[in-house]
Amino acid sequence: MATAYASAQFPAAGGSFIGRAAERAQLTGLLTEAAGGAAATVFVAGEAGVGKSRLLQEFATEARSAGRTVLHGACINLGTGALPYAPLIDALRRIVRERGEQRVRELGGPSYAELSRLVSDFTGVAPLGESTAQLRVFGAVLRMLDHFGAHAPTVLIFEDLHWADPSTLDLISYLARAQTDERILLVHSYRSNDLDRRHPLRTLLAEPDFIRRIHRLELARFTRAELERFLTASTGGSVDRPLLDRYYELSDGNAFFAEELVVSGVLTDPASTRLPNSLSEIMLSRVELLDDAAADVLRAAAAAGRRVSHRLLAAVCDLPDQQLIKALRQCVAQHVLTIDAADDTYVFRHALLREAVYQELLPGERVGLHRALATALTADPGFSLAEDLTAAAELAYHWYEARALPEALTAAVRAGEMAVRVHAFREAEQHYQRVLSLWSRVDDPQRRTGQPHWRVLAAAADTARWGGRVEQALELIRAAIAEVDRAAIAEVDRAAAPRYAGELLERLGNYLWEAGEYGDSQQTYRAAARALAGQPPSAVSARVLAAVAMAEVREGRYAEGAREGAHAVEMARAVPARAEEGRALNTLGMALTMLDQPSDGMAKVREALRIAEEVDHLEDLFRAYGNLAVALEHVGRLTDSVQVALTGLKVARERGLEQARGAGVLANNAAATLVLLGRWDEAAAVLDDVLRARPLRGTLYPRLTLAEIRLAQGSFDAAADLLADVQLVDRPTTDPRFVGPLYACLAELALWRDDRAGADDAVRAGLAALDGQANILELTRMYAVGLRAAADECEVLRTQPERDPVRLSAVVAYAERLADQAQADQAQADQAQADQAGVSQVRVLRDLCLAELARARGTADPDAWAAVARGWSMLGRSYPAGYAYWREAETALDAGDLARAGSAARSAWQTTEPLPAGPLRTEIEAMARRARIPLDPELPEPADDTAGPAARPFGLTARELEVLCLLCLGRTNREIATELFITERTAGVHVSNLLKKMAANNRNAAASMAHRLRLCTDRDSG
């Protein structure tokens, strides 16, 4: 038992604020910047008792005095019974009490009302689950804060994040990433000594993408000088040096410890015979001064939490009203409780004090208090300070701590349902996990909860999925399916088992798709359809049929997709199931568009878009915008396609859903089409905006598209950084539409950097990743890049002074194997049912493979390259068309056809002129300069890149190397003679000699060799 120390006869240091000048200045500076439209987030860290709360109280007071709006809330410690959005609800409740409901509605704007509905509407059935659900809450918070900020700069303070519920941490992460020019400052505090390495806040604070968006402020302990000022303010007089040393020695500069030493009087009371062993002992010594009734009231308050209402204490404590009031007066007088005038509650003066009192409770005493609290809250939920949402979690916590397992089971189910209704999915999953852990420990749990065990498993799976834990969701839903299968085998509810199985298989298909297991997902949808065959029409059946139709479309079987989609629409209308009807129409419309029925197809997609707006299902809304954009691009209406995708993005921004997966897809669609239109800078701007607002895992496709743009622009380092970011993600996806472009981009980057080994490695890795995939487009693209890398190496091998015929033969053989594999894969593909745009691209890529193979063999054909260029031009792909024209010009030069080379070179130049394609255009210019081909009469002379000291390969003499470098500039024999002050005949002899030594067929071939080997890179041409 703690020793009782006499209380000091002077007040605690509550009226003076000592030190922290630098920290206050930093917070004030950030608020000043926020007032100017530079929103910011700052984390205040420090050990328990160091003064974080006092600093933020002082800052909040100063901000209010300056006319700023302050919303201030704190997290609550309920162990694993987390209260969803606890600090947000606390902050909103406080400002409503401070300013009145009507005024807060005016300040918060429409989003305050929306947020109130999302967080406080607990009637009716749970909302349709979708991945955007929680983001809608977050978006409403940001828009509400923005509206507050429009009236006055606004500060949102969340304290004690070491106790934060998962949804609050997700909200904080969202706000830090999404804020831009709002007039808001977000300030969050946490105990740095309470974060172990697995704490989710520690994980968040370690994310590189998050760290660069926030400010950090670490509170240190008092220095000796600051402690002296603190003690002087506390005692009202000076403190002699020996006593100061004792205070500093015992408190070690911790502000709260020092204050407790002052208040307890342990160092100044002559009656004190020994020193306390710990801060906890000092705090509990204050409790020992209370009489029995006051101590009992304090213990009840500690079991209730840091903040408790008078009504709840009255219900739990077996005391007459006057005796209860007397007991509470003692607690306040001894500085263990304070009164919060904002909501007329009793609050422990410090969280550490509440923890100390709670830890001193005897096991039986603790159980009894929690049972009393749970009984009181069950009888009258109004005793709770919380809204219905947090009251449910609070009740589940107390029943569990009371070891009343049947009641805890029922309360946990209720808490899980309430958390789902406000999209606090991670808290809901925690509650359902508790239900599952209690299930076998309670008699007849199905009767108590009103649902079978597999339903609880399925509910837990849904919350895990919506909370972003797909692997856990897969494990839970598979367990639910296994239970239904066992029930069917045991003939328990056998008639309903197929319907249950179909419902669960549909969910499993969704989870598998989100996990990137596309093949398994599509097979699971088909299994769900088989399970539901013969069942009465239902929304689940309609969803399953729509999912099967989508699987057919994704695999390029559009006729089957249209048939299944039409069936799904018919069933959804028969139910009726409006959301499912819209989803089916969306897929049916895409199938019809790809079957060359674009008018009917796009009309159905537009109808699906209207339905998604009507039922307010944002996942389906974004999917409809995305599909409509793809359909418009498919029929060549590129500008309209971009406009539709950007409209969808605008809707996402208006609803605060920039971080939703659908928004990322829309941005990627818009950017890809802008690239086709030659508007690369606009495309990059769209993607940069998305990358700013979303975490790494949610931006894989946009990062890859931006990397492709940066690569083509010649920003190789930027492209490499983006590709490295993408590769950091653990198991990103197996989608061939991602894997193929990723490795193709890695290979092309290596080629532009003359890293042929790196290119070869990327191609091999890409082909391995695509092995077994049915996407012939991405496979053929990868083969083409591989053949390009092989052809480049073969050209270098043929032009090296030290010939390596063995290596050359090996590379040619490898190229031939690649071409054979490409041909075999193309033969297996069902071209008739593949994407029509894809078919056209595959055909061009097939021609590209053959052209690169001929280049590798040394038999390059300008006609082959011309065919490739025409194919890309017909598809509106300017960049690859420019590449093909360049190769045609080079091949024509090597064949001595200068007229054709000039025509192809000019086509390459004109095709790429609207594009900032630096590396490709540099190659085109260099080739034209070597061949003396005029690209544009108004084009300024490019800088010479044809000179440089080099070792003399091929046995060339110094004079022959000079002649070769002039050949690279397109000089004639007469011009060479003039520049070198030799006769024209001598110049001709030098040219003949170097052609023989280099085994070059003609002057252009020799110049091409010199260019590829960079023999004249820095030589001054004079």
Three-state SS letters, 577-643: CHHHHHHHHHHHHHHHHHCCCHHHHHHHHHHHHHHHHHHCCHHHHHHHHHHHHHHHHHCCCHHHHHH
SS3 at position 756: helix
Question: Which pLDDT score, from 0 to 100, does residue 833 have?
Answer: 44
The whole-number pLDDT of residue 782 equals: 93
Measure the CA–CA gap between 885 and 882, rounded to whole angstroms.
5
User: Mean pLDDT, to the nearest integer, of 543-562?
Assistant: 87
Per-residue pLDDT of 323-368, as tens digits, reads 999 999 999 988 889 888 767 789 988 888 888 899 899 999 999 9
Q: Hey, what CATH topology would domain 364-468 get?
A: 1.25.40
| pLDDT on residue 4 | 39
pLDDT in tens, 557-578: 888 999 999 999 999 999 999 9
Asked if CATH classification 3.30.710.10 holds for the domain at 21-220, the reply, yes or no, is no
**Over 50: is that where the pLDDT of 225 sits?**
yes
Tell which wins on pLDDT, 249 or 149. Answer: 149
Return the top range by mean pLDDT from 200-209, 250-259, 732-741, 953-962: 200-209
Mean pLDDT of the residues in the chain: 84
pLDDT of residue 423: 79
pLDDT in the model for residue 237: 73
**Beta strands 345-348 and 307-309: pairing type?**
antiparallel
- Mean pLDDT, residues 114-137 taken together: 56
- The 10 Å CB-count burial string (b at 16+, else e) for 261-294 is bbbbbbbbeeebeeebeebbbbbbbbbebbeebb
Predicted pLDDT at 277: 61
**pLDDT tens, residue by residue, 886-917:** 999 999 988 888 889 999 999 999 999 888 88
CATH architecture, domain defined by 953-1013: Orthogonal Bundle (1.10)
| Mean pLDDT, residues 687-691 taken together | 83
Annotate 355-424 with DSSP letters as a single string.
HHHHHTS-HHHHHHHHHHHHHHHHH-GGGSSS-HHHHHHHHHHHHHHTT-HHHHHHHHHHHHHHHHHTT-
The pLDDT of residue 836 is 44
Cβ distance 672 to 683 under 8 Å? Answer: yes
Assess whether pLDDT exceeds 60 at residue 948. no
- The more confident residue out of 321 and 125 is 321
Structure token pair of residue 725: 């970011």
Q: Is the pLDDT of residue 246 over 60?
A: yes
Question: Which band of pLDDT confidence, cut at 50, 70 and 90, is reported for residue 1018?
Answer: low
The pLDDT of residue 208 is 78
Q: Which residue has the higher pLDDT, 490 or 420?
A: 420
Q: Residues 841, 829: contact at Cβ < 8 Å?
A: no
Q: Which of 92-96, 414-418, 646-650, 950-954 has the lowest mean pLDDT?
A: 950-954
Q: What is the per-residue pLDDT for 386? A: 59
pLDDT score for 835: 44
Of 96, 91, 69, 62, nearest to 150 by C-alpha is 69
Q: Is it true that 21-220 and 364-468 share their CATH fold?
A: no
Query: What whole-number distance in Å separates Cα of residue 220 and Cα of residue 143?
Result: 35
- Over range 583-591, report the average pLDDT: 94
| Stretch among 245-259, 609-623, 690-704, 924-938 having the lowest mean pLDDT | 690-704
> Which distant-in-sequence residues (6+ apart) come within 8 Å of 1013 by Cβ?
796, 799, 800, 953
Torsion 141-145-146-151 (CA) sign: positive
Per the model's pLDDT, the better-predicted residue between 296 and 287 turns out to be: 296
Please say if the pLDDT value at position 695 is more than 80: no
C-beta neighbour count of 555 within 10 angstroms: 18
Instruction: Supply the pLDDT for residue 112.
Output: 81
Pairwise CA distance, residues 120 & 389, whole Å: 7
Q: Highest mean pLDDT: which of 234-243, 297-306, 332-341, 512-521?
A: 297-306
Contact 660, 132 (CB under 8 A): yes
Rounded Cα gap, residues 104 and 144, in angstroms: 10
Share of the chain above pLDDT 90, in %: 40
Tell me the residue type at 619.
E
- The 10 Å Cβ neighbour count of residue 414 is 18
For residues 508 and 525, what is the distance between their CA atoms, to the nearest angstrom? 8
Q: Identify residue 148 by its one-letter amino acid code.
A: F
Q: What is the pLDDT of residue 931?
A: 80
Whether the predicted pLDDT of 143 surpasses 70: yes
Q: What is the pLDDT of residues 768-798, one digit of tens each?
A: 988 876 678 888 999 999 999 999 999 888 8
- Check residues 912 and 19 and name the one with the higher pLDDT: 912
Domain map (residue ranges) of the chain: 21-220, 225-278, 290-361, 364-468, 860-942, 953-1013
Name the range with the highest mean pLDDT among 59-68, 684-693, 820-829. Answer: 59-68
What pLDDT is recorded for position 548? 92
Q: What is the CA radius of gyration of the chain?
A: 36
pLDDT of residue 772: 72
Tell me, what's the pLDDT at 906?
A: 92
In sequence order, what DSSP letters do the residues of 454-468 get, joined into one string? HHHHHHHHHHHHHTT
Cβ distance 971 to 945 under 8 Å?
Answer: no
- pLDDT category at 80 given cuts 50, 70, 90 is low
Predicted confidence at residue 474, as pLDDT, reads 95
User: What topology does CATH give the domain 290-361?
Assistant: Arc Repressor Mutant, subunit A (1.10.10)
pLDDT band at 404 (very low <50, low <70, confident <90, very high): very high
> Among 758-762, 885-889, 1014-1018, where is mean pLDDT lowest?
1014-1018
* Cβ within 8 Å of residue 662, ≥6 positions away: 132, 618, 619, 621, 622, 623, 625, 626, 648, 652
The DSSP element (H or E) to which 668 belongs, if any, is helix 661-676
What would the pLDDT profile of 229-240 be if each residue is shown by its tens digit? 888 887 777 778
Q: Which of 347-351, 512-516, 621-625 has the highest mean pLDDT?
A: 621-625
Question: Band of the pLDDT at 585, cuts 50, 70, 90?
Answer: very high
Q: Which helix (H) or strand (E) holds 191?
A: strand 184-191
The pLDDT of residue 296 is: 95
Which stretch of DSSP H or E encloses residue 73? Answer: strand 69-74
Give the least confident one: 346-350, 408-412, 545-549.
Answer: 346-350
Q: What is the pLDDT of residue 829?
A: 63
Higher pLDDT, 874 or 16: 874
- Phi and psi (nearest 5°) for 309? -85, 155
Rounded CA-CA distance 905/788 in Å is 19
Question: Which amino acid is located at 530 in the chain?
Answer: R
pLDDT value for 292: 93
